[in-house]
Homo-oligomer: A and B are copies of this chain.
């Protein structure tokens, strides 16, 4: 899309050299062919280092924009970004792709739907009512139980097992809001990648990234009714018990063990090899490893037990 077209869509002035923009990305990851944006004040200090070809920005931060990055000045940069995200969204199904490619030894129910452009590996089992979206790829020996939905552009590795009615690649929970409280969808143009040997229970959901990838690394075990938000990363061999919710952009290190009904807030970084008791509510990043946490607000497990003992004594 031409920069001039973007300016026209966003109803902002445009007075630079026109050129092609191929997508939208974060301040940190955008290339010179991409447009970025800044909305949250805490990212203003990153503006000066962006490699983006253009930036959606309010006039008050104009002075931060580096040379070579064209400023698209708007009133509400997050709202404008939401408007533009729709323009870069691919179609729901890619009618122009070739027919799906199916590996040797793979069995696919005739009641499953494999969209155009999908690639399925060898010796997979794909049961009835499964949906695999356009251009998604599935490795070898992977099992998709009935009514699993994989949205377009996702990647599932070898030796994975996805249990019935789980969803991979639904849209992350993203929207801009205006002063009236109305919401504008931010199209989620990233994807989900499951590496090899991941098992995922039934009725669980992993949302696709807004940009880039929601990443579930090798050997992870997910139970039932789990919510994993957009742009999360789960380290190798992590174990997540039933009904856990992990909010967007949280990064968990290798061998994280998350007890049932726990919640992890968004944008946290959790060091590897930590354990969380059932129902822990994790609200801060964790830099140490090898510990056990519990409670909400969470603390180390021993302190939580002590606190509960003290609370029980309050009525005695």
Interface residues of A (CB under 8 A from B): 92-93, 109, 111, 113, 125, 127-129, 131, 143, 145-147, 149, 151, 161, 163-167, 170-171, 173, 175, 177, 180-183, 185, 199, 201-205, 207, 219, 221, 223-225, 227, 229, 236-237, 239, 241-243, 245, 247, 254-255, 260-261, 263, 265, 278-279, 281, 296-297, 299, 303, 306-308, 310-312, 314-315
Given known contacts A202-B205, A224-B227, A278-B265, A241 and B173 CB-to-CB distance under 8 angstroms:
yes
Give, as a whole number of angstroms, the nearest-CB distance from A303 to chain B. Answer: 6
Query: Which residues of chain B have C-beta atoms less than 8 A from A278's C-beta?
Result: 263, 265, 281
Of chain B, the residue at the smallest CB distance from A299 is: B312
Each complex incorporates copies of this chain amounting to 3
> How far does the alpha carbon of A170 sit from the alpha carbon of B147 in the complex, in Å?
12
Give, as a whole number of angstroms, the nearest-CB distance from A279 to chain B. Answer: 6
Query: Which residues of chain B have C-beta atoms less than 8 A from A129's C-beta?
Result: 113, 128-129, 131, 147, 149
Given known contacts A113-B129, A171-B163, A183 and B219 CB-to-CB distance under 8 angstroms:
yes
B306 touches A315 (CB 8 A): yes
> How far does the alpha carbon of A265 sit from the alpha carbon of B259 in the complex, in Å?
10
> How far does the alpha carbon of A145 sit from the alpha carbon of B170 in the complex, in Å?
9
Given known contacts A113-B109, A225-B227, A263-B260, A170 and B181 CB-to-CB distance under 8 angstroms:
no
Give, as a whole number of angstroms, the nearest-CB distance from A80 to chain B. Answer: 19
Of chain B, the residue at the smallest CB distance from A236 is: B181
Query: Which residues of chain B have C-beta atoms less than 8 A from A221's C-beta?
Result: 173, 175, 183
Query: Which residues of chain B have C-beta atoms less than 8 A from A181's C-beta?
Result: 219, 236-237, 254-255
Query: Which residues of chain B have C-beta atoms less than 8 A from A225's C-beta?
Result: 203, 205, 225, 227, 245
Of chain B, the residue at the smallest CB distance from A273 is: B181
B92 touches A127 (CB 8 A): yes
A307 touches B299 (CB 8 A): no
Give, as a whole number of angstroms, the nearest-CB distance from A58 to chain B. Answer: 23
Query: Which residues of chain B have C-beta atoms less than 8 A from A125's C-beta?
Result: 92
Query: Which residues of chain B have C-beta atoms less than 8 A from A131's C-beta?
Result: 127-129, 146-147, 164
> How far does the alpha carbon of A263 sit from the alpha carbon of B161 in the complex, in Å?
26
> How far does the alpha carbon of A175 sit from the alpha carbon of B240 in the complex, in Å?
12
B239 touches A183 (CB 8 A): yes
**B143, B205, B260, B265: the one within 8 Å of A203 (CB):** B205
